[in-house]
Structure 1
């Protein structure tokens, strides 16, 4: 059986090297390249056409969700496995919507990552046990998956990350290359989706939340 060729995209060198070592010790896999950014991952995928890209969501510049969409466009035969510290189902949902075949968190075991790689290579979708358990709890508790945090767009999550760091609307606009008015619209929509009354309530929510808005 031919080895499954893998491209690893993660902005942490040690993470990439560790994954490469682990994967290359298994006869089913061979890591053909590593990347520290979304843009570089796209170029490598175009050139190498790997069977699978292990794609971290939080990458500098173009994030993993956007890079996934581009890789699926330029190398449609390549399967994408999303990986992140984020355990909110909304991240997994957005990755799948953009073309990923699977999603695992960084809490997942080596065995589960191997299982995910084999499943998506065979054409099946794979969601890790941690995410599935969270989804099950939401269903049991009656939580609306399309409300609150799960209703936030990737851009809104990015803006929350900037707010968490104390950036003003103008600073956010400059960083994301959008208008201040657009940032204000996003902030309004965030308040509405999170059922918060004002900016002070949003800051309080972010500061008291245990959720990971950035990596």
Structure 2
């Protein structure tokens, strides 16, 4: 039986090497390439056409969500498995919307990672148990998915990341190559979704929140 070929995209060398070692010890898998950036992952996927791409969301430059969309374009047969420290369901949803077949967190076990790889390679969607449990709790608690952090778009999350670093609207606009007005619209939408009154409240929310905006 042919081995499942895998491309690993993560910006931490030790993480890539650890995953590569673990996966190559299993006779079902063969890691054919490793990448530390989204741009490189897209190019490697285009060249090598791996069966599965293990894609970290937080990559420097082009993030994993953007890279996923391009890999689906240039190597449509490759199945993408999103991996992240983020446990908010919104990240899993955004990855799946851009073409990923599965999503696991870095809290997942080796066995669950193996199961996720084989499931997505066979064309079936896979969401890790941690995310499924969080979704179940939200349903039980009656949390509104149209508001709060789960309603934030990827661009709004990017805006929050810049605000957390102390960037002004002008600096954010220059960094993202968009207008200051567009930044202000995003900031307004963030306040509305998080039910906050002003920028000071947003900064306080970001600094005190246990949520991951890195």
TM range (shorter): over 0.9
Q: CA deviation at 1:4?
A: 0.2
1:5 aligned counterpart, secondary structure: strand
TM-score (norm 1): 0.98
Q: CA deviation at 1:186?
A: 0.6
Q: CA deviation at 1:146?
A: 2.3
Structural RMSD (CA): 0.7
Q: CA deviation at 1:174?
A: 1.6
Q: 1:3 aligned to 2:3?
A: yes
Unaligned 5+ segments in structure 2 are: none
Tell me the residue number matched to 1:180: 180
TM-score (norm 2): 0.98
Tell me the residue number matched to 1:120: 120
Q: Provide the C-alpha distance between the structure 1 equivalents of 2:144 and 2:27, rounded to a whole number of angstroms.
A: 43
**1:80-95 alignment to 2 at 5 Å?**
80-95=80-95
Tell me the residue number matched to 2:75: 75
Query: How many matched pairs?
Result: 214
**1:1-215 alignment to 2 at 5 Å?**
1-214=1-214
Unaligned 5+ segments in structure 1 are: none
Q: Provide the C-alpha distance between the structure 2 equivalents of 1:185 and 1:154, rounded to a whole number of angstroms.
A: 14
